[in-house]
Amino acid sequence: MKMKTSNKVKMNQKHKFKMLDYENKKIEIDEKMVPLMMKLWSLNIKTFACCQQIPTDCVMMKFLKFKEKYAYIGVSSYKDRIRLLKYITSKGKSCQVFKKYVYIKTDDLGVFT
């Protein structure tokens, strides 16, 4: 998997990212998410989105009543969501699931490096 670091930040994105090859496409992955996402892909867990920190003023943060900073990973398949949950809990961390998204505390991302 090739990786390229970029200091570019999109207007609607606050985080630095790296360009990764995933399923024959170049995609932007937030820097703090790179180790976790690469591990998930090596475990053949298919993802469709991720972000290292949801803005605290986001409606979803208020809806889920999160008090801390959270990252998210979008996983379409129920089976893959279960595998992701097992992987996260095997590292002694907790997460929450809402629909097709798995939420993990941003401060816990360092565990997956």
* Residues 29-73: tens digit of each pLDDT: 999 999 999 999 999 999 999 999 877 667 766 667 777 788 999
92: Cβ–Cβ under 8 A, 6 or more apart, which residues?
111
Q: What is the pTM of this model?
A: 0.81
Residue 91, H or E segment:
none
Average pLDDT value over all residues in the chain: 84
Residue 86 corresponds to which amino acid?
K
Rounded to whole angstroms, the Cα distance separating 57 from 38 reads 29
State the Cα angle at 56 between 51 and 58, rounded to 5°.
75
